[in-house]
Structure 1
Amino acid sequence: MRRFIRVTRYFLYSLLGVVITLLLMLSTEIGSRGIVFVANHTFSSFAHIERIDGALLRDFQLHEVTLSAADTTARADFIAIRWRPWQLLKKELHIRAFESRGLQITTGPSDSTNAEFALPEIYSPLRIRLDRFHLVNNVVLSSAPQQEEQVIVSTKQITGRLRLNESALTLNNLYIDHELGWLRVTGNADLAGQYPLALETQFKLHELSFIEQNHDPDSLESKSEQSEINGHADFEGELLGALVADIRTAGPIALSADGRVQEVLTPNFNWQMDIEAHLQHFTAFQQYTDAITLQFSGEGDSNSADGELLGTTTLIEYGLVTLNAEGFFSEHRAALETLSIRASEFGVAFDLNGEGNLSESEIQADMRGTLYYQDLPEIGIDINWLGNSTEVSQLNIEASSELGEVNVAGQATWKPQLTWQLTTNTRELYLEKLFAPASKYLERLPDDWSDDFRVSGSISTEGSWTASDQFDVELVTDQLVVNAGTRSIATELNLEAHDQQLKINQAIARAGDSRVEIGGSVGFESIDLNTSIYSPDLNQLHPSLSGRLQLESQIQGATRQPEIHIDAQGDYVAWQEYSVATVSSNLTLDLGFRSLPAGELSLLGVQGIQQYILPNETQTSPFDVTFNTRNAEQYQLNMKIANEVMEISGGFEGTGNVRDFTGKTSEFLVKLPDIGIWHASPSEFRWQLPNDGQPSFSSSYLCLVKNTREASVCGDVLWSEAEQEVNVDVRNVGLYVLSPWLPPTVRADGFFSVFGHYKALNNDVDYQLTGQTSDISVSMPEQDIQLWFDQGEVLRIEGNRDVLEASFDIHASDVEGQVSGQAQINDPFGSQRLSSNVRLAFEDLQVVSLVIPQLQSVTGQLRGGFRLQGDLKRPQVSGILNLSEASAEIPEVGIRLEQLSARVSSPAGGQEPFTLRANAVSGGGDIDITGSYTLETRSGSLHVEGQNFEAARTRDLHLFVSPNLDFTVSEEGLNLTGALTIPSAQISPPDFDTVYRSSPDTVIVHNEDRVWENASSLPYTVDVQVTLGEQVNVSAYGFEGRITGGLRIIEQPNQETSAVGNINVATGQYELYGQQLNVERGTLVYSGGAVSNPGLDLRVSRQFETEQTTVGARVGGTLRTPRLNLFSTPQMQDAEILSYLVLGRGFSQESAEDQNLFLQASLALGLQGGNLIGERLSDTIGVDEILLDGGDTIESTALYIGKQISPRLYVRYGVGLVEPVSTFFIRYRLTDYLSFETQTGTLGSGADLFYTIEK
């Protein structure tokens, strides 16, 4: 027994020693390192710690830690643990802090099978408490044999704290920081059984590449705010059972999702979700729309989805668009059941239903639907498609409506190259209504074409197109008929295109007895095309054509320089305003100049070209144009254009060919009303066009002489590669030849002469040009202004290859005026360096009225001088222009400018700006203008300041202004700012009907010539404060009074002019139907809207002292939609108040004549709202017009309903509201100028024929 006790004692002592030794090792750094060393050798297959700092029973750090299990390896560069080991005695593992850096987890190849993933049940015998964990730079990798590692997820840091009690896990503020955002999780879960859980998460995503970064600089949101997505997600339920999710986001993707998922980690995973997402700032669609809203409701599993999708957006060009689709989608198959598209502003409604399936091996669709487009009738669509990802083996698409039918059938492939075989069949297809591109073109066709333009027939095409742009196409039509109004054109086409060659096997168009046929080939290098036209009546082919024509043409040779032969005969051929009585042609032209023109052309009775030949003649007879050649012993060419008032004729004859020809001109004759009769005697000439080298031309002295005066235009020329010489001698030519280019109010008389010589031989150049005038005068007969210029030499130019010298001197003795200058250009054929001086001086400024007709009675002195030097294309300008002691009248506005002076000074250097300073006095007030302009930057500024300046003095307007305005101009646009005060004005405009302001891009055309267009293309902005003074009086439209107030007028590019401020009636009266009404309060309120639609705040009244009665009206709303309320003291009915306002007495005292006047006033006050209701009602019931008309008497008041049946026919029906009468009205437009109207009614019938002339 003693021995047992002794053995037991020794065992306990040994055990205690071991425990004490173990505790001593764990509580010391040396001991802890020893334990780690032993562990590394013992568990080397799955664990390794490179180094430990600290003791295991205190705070310690681990370095280079590696743990392995199966195919997963975890490595950490550093781990630090702070814990309370004594808490183990309380069955609690308490870690105060856990920190790691460089944690890397590598997983092996994933198992692609669908075996169920079983979660382990985790039960801890100890309570685990982790107060804080912080994991920095973490990454999870995936590796496979013979492949590089791939990053699955990488995080910057993971922080948080947790509790685990048996299987109950509590997470508190788990934070995961990723380069794309962050995630924060709080909640609890049970790690056993079905894994019940309840989690709340918050997250943020940023720096998303698909979000637009270049946002509006005026937006209040920063770039980061616009590209961030914030949200939260709540999950509750069982991870292995049913889990309910609630997800919300805000930002570029605003998401709201509710739903449930079941058995997430099993092959039986399934879900059901309702999702709404609002997408904005996406780069993929930013050029089309600002935002898209998507709604989805459906269900599915891990591989498929089945549900309904609704998408809405507002497209920039087409307005609101919605898309609704129901279908099924999986990894290997997709199916569409229904598709619906709505674009109400664009007028599109599209519905499609049926069956459409997409799989890896087959694409199949059998769907039907309807399309509504704007005002078109319903279009039925039928789609049948069978194919795969590389081809469609069976294709059949049909579309049908009241406007025709079209069917496309065939097959096509797109891999490895594009090939197709398609047939399109149409039946009575109205192109101008169905197809927008065709409609835009057809609008330019004549009326009787575009109203009824339809196509029937078949078009077959087949071909191929390779990736290297090699193509082979064939197109054939079968009985393709184009019906245009009353015309029916049958076409037959057979075309082939191979690479760079188009072959026209057959192209025939038949209309009645007319026939057009084209055949041949066209390529990039050569052309061989034959055209044949036979038409006894060209109107059968086109409504703008008429007459008889038979034509044969051939185009052959090189495509860019072919030879053309035209053989044509025709009578009374006309197109639009052009016509020819007789056409005869047998002409051959070589556009490559390999041979001379041959044949003849005769156009007799040509109409419609008079304005181009004689622009100043309003009535001229038809022209005859003839052209003929002969090539017997020698070549002859003659041409003539003539009628009874003009003739241009001439020609030449000679020997040779197109490359080397020697000949002489025949007598040349020019007879024109503006310049008289000129003729030229024959002159010899020669041209040479060698295949290599420069062409040459020479002619003997040719003189064109006027028959009534010693006026002539003469010269000779020698131009070759070695020598060039030109002599010009123009004598006594009248300035009347310049009439077409002068303003209609200005007349130029006198004569000028020009003598010139140019010669270049080898490297020597010599030239000289002089200009002389005699008896020159410029006048304005209507203003009795005439200016005479001194005769003599006015221009001289001479020089050589190195330098050009020029001088000019123009004197006008009667106004004591002179403009003169000298110029020198060094190296005129090379660098062209300019040095010049210009001087001007005018002691009498009546010449200004010739240049600026708006200014009259101009007096003063104008002196100045300028210097231009530097590069001829961009010279530098310096100098001064000074106007002094001047005055002028502006009749259009009725003012006279006194004490007018101005000074323009140009810079000494090219970088400095021009400066302007000017001032004037008008009506006792003055105005000062200062400004500058820089040529290099094309920018300038102008400041206008004045006080009580009389700006207008006419019968309608007497206006004084005090401006303080700044005007700037640059390449970016124009800008006007500042203030304008109107201290006094008298405004009394005449009565006029409503006018409409033309669009800024209006172009006025007369005889196809642009008479006027807005040449300014620069955008402009205006911000001006206009203030009305105390003396602004208005007498207009029944109003007599004084107005005050002010407006800030704002105008931006491509926006309507707006205004802010008030215009108030200080005192005034308004006359209504002969009765004077006092304006007690009158204000036009501008609050930033359109300047043409201010708000109204008006109150007018009238007092009757004998009856102690006051009546009046209050007007509110806006100018376009006013609101009228009547008031009175004592209170009366509206009819009684209106009677006092209009007639000056009560309703019971009215006569029959007064009743008519009263009814007109009632309708004037009430019809605006009534007709607005009529407009809305007409939109609802499908008519074009519903209106009330007061007529001339009370009995004629009627309600009218009108409808535009077609572009030519309008009908209207009216019924009386007082008397039982009715009318039926018809208007029919026979032509653009002629219309027929008839009216039938209870009181009688009648008809009228109207001819309208538009100016």
Structure 2
Amino acid sequence: MRVYRWLAGTILSLVLLIPIIAFSLVASESGSRWVLTQAQKYAPVEFSYSQFNGSLLNEFEFRDFSLEAGTFSYAPEQLKVSWKPFALLSGVLRINSVKSNGGEIRLRAAEQEQSDASETSIQDISIELPIDFNVLKLSIEKTQFFILETPAQSLNINASVRLDTSGSLNIRELQLEHQYMTTTISGRTKLSYPFDSNLNNNTHLHSPDYPELKVKSRIVGNLHKLSTTSELSEGLIGTISAELQDPISDLKWQLTSQWQDNNITPWLASFGADTLNLSFNGTLNGQGGMDHIELEPSISVMVNKQQADIDGNLNYRNNVLALNALNIQPQGDIDGVLTLQGEISSLKANPEINVSATWDEIIYEPNQLTSRNGKLTAQGTIGDLAIYLDNTLTGLLGNDLNLTTEAELTEKSLKLTQWRLSQNDEQVNGNAIIEWKDNLSLAANLTGSFQQQTVDAKVRLRLLDPYLFVDQLEARWGPHSLLANGALSPGSKLNWKLSSADLSTLSDIKGELATEGSINGQLNQSRFDFDIAEFNLKLPDYNAITLNQSVAGSFNYQESTFDVTPVCLNYKGLRKPLCAQLEQQKDSVNFTADASQVPLNLLQAIVLPDSPYTLSGELSLEIDGEFNNQTMRLEKFEGVVNADNSKIQAGEEVITLNQLVLKAKNGAEQDLDISLTAKANELDFDLSGELNIEQLNTNSPISGKVLLSSKSLELLNLFAPQINIGDGNTKAELTIAGKLNDPTASGSMNLSADRIVLLSSGTLITNLEAELTADANVGQFTVSANGTVGQGDVDIKGRFNVLKRVGLLTIKGKDLLILDTPDLLLSASPDVKIELQENLITLTGDLDVPKARITPVELNQAVTESADVNIKNEKKEESLFRTKADITVSLGKSVRVEAMGFSGNLQGQLRISQQPNSAATGNGSIGVVSGDYEIYGQKLAIERGDLLFNGGPLDTPSLNLRVTRNIKGNGASQRPPEIIGARVTGTIEQPELSLFSTPPLPDSTILSYLLFGKPPGNQGDVNNLELQAALLVGGRSTEFLTEGIKSTFDLDEVSLDSETNDVNDTSLYIGKYLSPQLYIKYGIGLLEPTSTFILRYTLSERLLFESTSSTEGQGGDLIYTIEN
């Protein structure tokens, strides 16, 4: 406040003195000097100068001027002032220009003083002046600024301002120019509380150490409410809007910001983090006050080409940072959502962490590695942090894996107290500790079982930079093992040994493998030397494949070069070893390979061990080439692969390829010419092909031709054993064009066959003529085929566009014998269309079935799982295509079914419809024209039988069945009913059975008539035995039911029995031993509502106690067994 009082006093003094002495004292230079000399004595501040020129009445200049005013000092080398004293007459102090050059300006911290309760507060500031101050131009150049304790900064200031009598400051221009920053301010501000302001600011950062940045801002408001908006450009692009309320007494603020695509990698590099490539865009909003901050980000971040979207809420209050559902959703190769929750407290001291990360499913797209139902928690301090991880991994090692980890992180170590990997009923447990107190070291142990193989591993590593010591590395998994020990240090080497007693558990190759070698080098050096001293591969029924000599090589990861001595493999019977060599020097890779008389069956055992075909013969090859890494050009290549007189066998079919040669050679223009020739004389088979690749890259143009001619189709029999093909021929001529990653073909292929039999279905196709043509210009194939199926003619036409994945196929035929097997015969007349639109297949048309015979052989009583059974770890393959259908199926008069006790003719029409990703539905009905149904050895006539489809799923039709039995009188006194039968309604899933008769009879009587043709009653023990026999052996389904119940519920007895001679007392019994001596049995009536409970206890080897309790009575027996 002293400054303000001093300023007001100075202004008042000037107002009074200037009119009096202006002309007498300051009109001359000498008078001006005298005035200045007197002012030095009485002025409230100290000032000095070495030289004065000019007149205080107009223009004057100081040399080495110095001003000291408490915490402020001003000492320019030159100070020039030009002003208009006569403007004072109009109430304005007008200064035309003030120019300060060189020197320094210092602002020091004020000394501590006792607080004065009467000192004026900021709310009391109110400035009013007797005159206006108008500074047209203020210039401070080449001046060093010392602000508090900061180092000196060179700063240039240019300003033009006006301060009126009300204390309102009009800033026409205020420019501050620093060597690293330039800022310009304009606008108006009030110098009295609450300091109403309306200012514009343009700031330009141009430091050589940081990226360039421009900020354009506007500030409007006062100390009650202040609003600001800023636009950023150049180094960062975005807008920021903020509002501050009561910044002096009780600060509250709100912030909204919008950021465009910003690459902040240059900013990170300026702070030394040059390994990160980071960019972001989105919005960041927030609010808060003096004691709390709340932020809501919604941004997209790209880190080293990995993108993630971040949104959620985090806030800071009372020294605690809280994460409220902060969601991180990666994009690109990683898909999923990671949610962070928790808090970090005691931020100003020793932060306490209690944070968790959860996710439902995170997928790494390139290999479909999936982590599901994951949770990662961290609790504790930085020096003592407990970490827990639990998640399920899919796509790594077959079935789902559950991975759990418990760890402790301290300032000196990371200790994995528990590491568990489980799958089904197997698990692998481990623990490890990583220490870095003095040097980095790792100790880990694994034990357990995986895929029914024992797992055991021990690892002990030490890193004494730059030396790596492997004290122990022993890993065993069933028949496989990896051993290593030694060091990567001068005078030492790292020895390793790999072996497998059964390769089939790792791959399709069957056999044994043993190999060992060493590695030599240091971690601070880019070159590593290695050797393979032993290699032994033994396949079943073959001699061992071994190294002819040890292999040595080196690798330099900085120069990306390597070299290796020839790798030569021995095999008993080879005239000379199979050798290959690779060497990279600077920009090129040289490679050679040489082999002769290599058995094809040996190569098949390694490359195609599960192939249904058997190869025999010998192969020889010679390859020599050079590839330039920098130009990506094949500088030299020449190769020949020959397998003349080789044989292919499948079952009893054997084909001899008299000539099989593959050649490749690059030309003068660095292109690559490839040719293939294959001939089989006995089949008049001739295949030749040529392909030219202009450059060795995926976009390289290609051109070529393929010619095929064969007067026999026996080769197709070899590759399609389920098809028997008679005489015929095939011919093809194709032209290849396009690019290596997008080839096209044009031309045609023709096939003629006098007979084709599909063995599994018995389908006979004769006089087949087929043609496939290709048009490379539109990427379309055209299909045309006709022939005879059974006695009917079929015609197939279609087209398919490879590029657009669209196509249409039409099939028309009349009385085609599609199936002809002992249990199935099907004749159909199709008129259907199959349309492909990307991944959607649409099936439309009509299918008439004039004749069919379905007589399946006796079915095995296989147990099928119920609908609520989930098979553990079952892999459900998703179809590549979606299906849409609208097809009408009509059954003719000659469709007969004899199966599962039913015998009759079917007729009807059914329209089948299906939408993509939905179940098929049906409209129509299938009825029984005539037929009967045999149940428990009795034939029942079907008077009416319909399956009704009313737009619901195909597997849930409605039922409308009526069966009757004609009962003949047998001379007995009781007259048989006129009509006896049963109705079945409802649906397949929930059928409803009702019995009827004329005249009406009880259900038990109707059932007895249906099954035996006799009424119930005193029919004797014979009828009771007949009923039991009918129930037990009359239908296989009953046996299947009882056995299925026994196995499902682990029961000891499931049976049908009767305690009396009355058929109505027949019951279903289930029994179970609760202990070796105690047995219980429970029965429920099938025809009458009765129940029975039996308890049997064995007292000794010959004596047992049995108690029976039923709805008809109770009783008990002691049973003693006597053996003869």
Give the TM-score normalised by the residue count of structure 2.
0.54
Q: What is the one-letter code of the residue matched to 1:860?
A: G
**Alpha-carbon distance, 1:794 to partner:** 2.8
Is the partner of 1:1191 in helix, strand or coil?
strand
**Alpha-carbon distance, 1:711 to partner:** 5.8
Is the partner of 2:1010 in helix, strand or coil?
helix
User: Which of 983, 1000, 1007 does residue 1138 from structure 1 map onto?
Assistant: 1007
Q: Is the 8 A contact 2:468 2:523 kept in 1?
A: no
State which drifts further: 879-888 or 996-1005: 996-1005
> In 1, distance between residues paired with 2:490 and 2:887?
80
Matched, 1:1222 2:1090: no
Q: Is the 8 A contact 1:1116 1:1123 kept in 2?
A: yes
Matched, 1:1151 2:1020: yes
Is the partner of 1:1127 in helix, strand or coil?
strand
Alignment match, 1:955: 822
> In 1, distance between residues paired with 2:695 and 2:517?
41
Distance 1:962 1:422, change over 3 A: closer
**Alpha-carbon distance, 1:595 to partner:** 5.6
After superposition, the C-alpha distances for 1:953-985 in whole angstroms (9 at most, x for unaligned) are: 112211111111111111251111111111101
Report the number of matched residues: 698
Alignment match, 2:283: none
Alignment match, 1:520: 410
Alignment match, 1:567: 443
Q: What does 1:540-619 align with in structure 2 at a 5 Å threshold?
A: 551-554=432-435, 565-568=441-444, 573-574=448-449, 577-580=452-455, 583-588=457-462, 598-603=469-474, 606-608=476-478
**Alpha-carbon distance, 1:1098 to partner:** 2.0
User: Which of 785, 789, 805 does residue 673 from structure 2 map onto?
Assistant: 805
State which drifts further: 912-921 or 1021-1030: 912-921
Distance 1:546 1:1015, change over 3 A: closer
Q: Is the 8 A contact 2:1028 2:1056 kept in 1?
A: no
Is the partner of 1:667 in helix, strand or coil?
strand
Alignment match, 1:495: 380
Distance 1:854 1:658, change over 3 A: farther
> In 1, distance between residues paired with 2:379 and 2:449?
31
Is the partner of 1:767 in helix, strand or coil?
strand
**Alpha-carbon distance, 1:624 to partner:** 3.9
Q: What is the one-letter code of the residue matched to 2:517?
A: G
Distance 1:721 1:493, change over 3 A: closer
Q: What is the one-letter code of the residue matched to 1:947?
A: K
Distance 1:1138 1:962, change over 3 A: same
> In 2, distance between residues paired with 1:884 and 1:1000?
51
**Alpha-carbon distance, 1:495 to partner:** 2.6
> In 2, distance between residues paired with 1:834 and 1:492?
55
User: Which of 706, 717, 720 does residue 585 from structure 2 map onto?
Assistant: 720
Distance 1:685 1:1078, change over 3 A: closer
User: Which of 886, 889, 910 does residue 1023 from structure 1 map onto?
Assistant: 886
User: Which of 774, 781, 786 does residue 919 from structure 1 map onto?
Assistant: 786
Matched, 1:969 2:836: yes
Distance 1:551 1:1225, change over 3 A: farther
**Alpha-carbon distance, 1:1048 to partner:** 0.8
After superposition, the C-alpha distances for 1:173-215 in whole angstroms (9 at most, x for unaligned) are: xxxxxxxxxxxxxxxxxxxxxxxxxxxxxxxxxxxxxxxxxxx
Distance 1:642 1:1022, change over 3 A: closer
After superposition, the C-alpha distances for 1:846-872 in whole angstroms (9 at most, x for unaligned) are: 222332332134542111111111222
**Alpha-carbon distance, 1:821 to partner:** 0.7
After superposition, the C-alpha distances for 1:274-301 in whole angstroms (9 at most, x for unaligned) are: xxxxxxxxxxxxxxxxxxxxxxxxxxxx
> In 1, distance between residues paired with 2:765 and 2:531?
61
> In 1, distance between residues paired with 2:946 and 2:766?
38
> In 2, distance between residues paired with 1:1140 and 1:391?
95
Matched, 1:1053 2:926: no
Matched, 1:474 2:353: yes
Alignment match, 2:259: none
Matched, 1:1032 2:895: yes
Is the partner of 2:667 in helix, strand or coil?
strand
After superposition, the C-alpha distances for 1:514-569 in whole angstroms (9 at most, x for unaligned) are: x9863336xxxxxx74326599xx999x995589x775434799xxxxx9743356
> In 1, distance between residues paired with 2:958 and 2:611?
47
RMSD: 5.1
Q: Which runs of 5+ in 1 are unaligned?
A: 1-387, 394-412, 424-458, 478-490, 497-501, 510-514, 522-527, 558-562, 609-621, 1169-1183, 1206-1210, 1227-1238, 1246-1255
Is the partner of 1:1053 in helix, strand or coil?
coil
**Alpha-carbon distance, 1:607 to partner:** 3.9
**Alpha-carbon distance, 1:685 to partner:** 2.7
Alignment match, 1:1068: 931
Distance 1:844 1:1000, change over 3 A: farther
User: Which of 487, 493, 511 does residue 635 from structure 1 map onto?
Assistant: 493
After superposition, the C-alpha distances for 1:1010-1034 in whole angstroms (9 at most, x for unaligned) are: 7xx5352322112111100111111
**Alpha-carbon distance, 1:1044 to partner:** 0.8
Q: What is the one-letter code of the residue matched to 1:979?
A: D
Distance 1:1161 1:723, change over 3 A: closer
Q: Is the 8 A contact 2:819 2:826 kept in 1?
A: yes
Alignment match, 1:905: 773
User: Which of 502, 514, 517 does residue 651 from structure 1 map onto?
Assistant: 517
Q: Which runs of 5+ in 2 are unaligned?
A: 1-286, 293-312, 324-340, 357-375, 390-404, 503-510, 970-974, 1038-1048, 1098-1104, 1109-1115, 1119-1124
After superposition, the C-alpha distances for 1:769-790 in whole angstroms (9 at most, x for unaligned) are: 2211144222123xx1112212
Distance 1:918 1:1153, change over 3 A: farther
Alignment match, 1:671: 537
Q: What is the one-letter code of the residue matched to 2:594?
A: D
> In 1, distance between residues paired with 2:736 and 2:428?
60
Q: What does 1:823-834 align with in structure 2 at a 5 Å threshold?
A: 823-829=691-697, 831-834=699-702
Distance 1:935 1:642, change over 3 A: closer
Give the TM-score normalised by the residue count of structure 1.
0.49
**Alpha-carbon distance, 1:916 to partner:** 0.5
Is the partner of 2:879 in helix, strand or coil?
coil
**Alpha-carbon distance, 1:507 to partner:** 6.5
After superposition, the C-alpha distances for 1:1176-1197 in whole angstroms (9 at most, x for unaligned) are: xxxxxxxx999x9982446685
After superposition, the C-alpha distances for 1:1092-1132 in whole angstroms (9 at most, x for unaligned) are: 22222222222245578432223322223333333334554
After superposition, the C-alpha distances for 1:604-638 in whole angstroms (9 at most, x for unaligned) are: 7x344xxxxxxxxxxxxx34432223556353533
**Alpha-carbon distance, 1:1223 to partner:** 5.4
Alignment match, 2:636: 766
Matched, 1:756 2:608: no
Alignment match, 1:1125: 994
Alignment match, 1:80: none
> In 2, distance between residues paired with 1:390 and 1:1240?
85
Q: Is the 8 A contact 1:476 1:493 kept in 2?
A: yes
Q: Which has the higher contact order (CA 8 A, sep 6+)?
A: 2
> In 2, distance between residues paired with 1:624 and 1:1185?
43
Q: Is the 8 A contact 1:577 1:607 kept in 2?
A: no
After superposition, the C-alpha distances for 1:731-784 in whole angstroms (9 at most, x for unaligned) are: 333333334636553222233233222225797812122211144222123xx1
**Alpha-carbon distance, 1:825 to partner:** 2.1
Q: Is the 8 A contact 1:1198 1:1214 kept in 2?
A: no
**Alpha-carbon distance, 1:1142 to partner:** 1.1
**Alpha-carbon distance, 1:804 to partner:** 1.6
Is the partner of 1:1147 in helix, strand or coil?
coil
> In 1, distance between residues paired with 2:979 and 2:907?
27
After superposition, the C-alpha distances for 1:805-857 in whole angstroms (9 at most, x for unaligned) are: 11111222232222211111224458511111111122222222332332134
State which drifts further: 1038-1047 or 721-730: 721-730
User: Which of 724, 745, 758 does residue 890 from structure 1 map onto?
Assistant: 758
Distance 1:568 1:832, change over 3 A: closer
Distance 1:1033 1:492, change over 3 A: closer
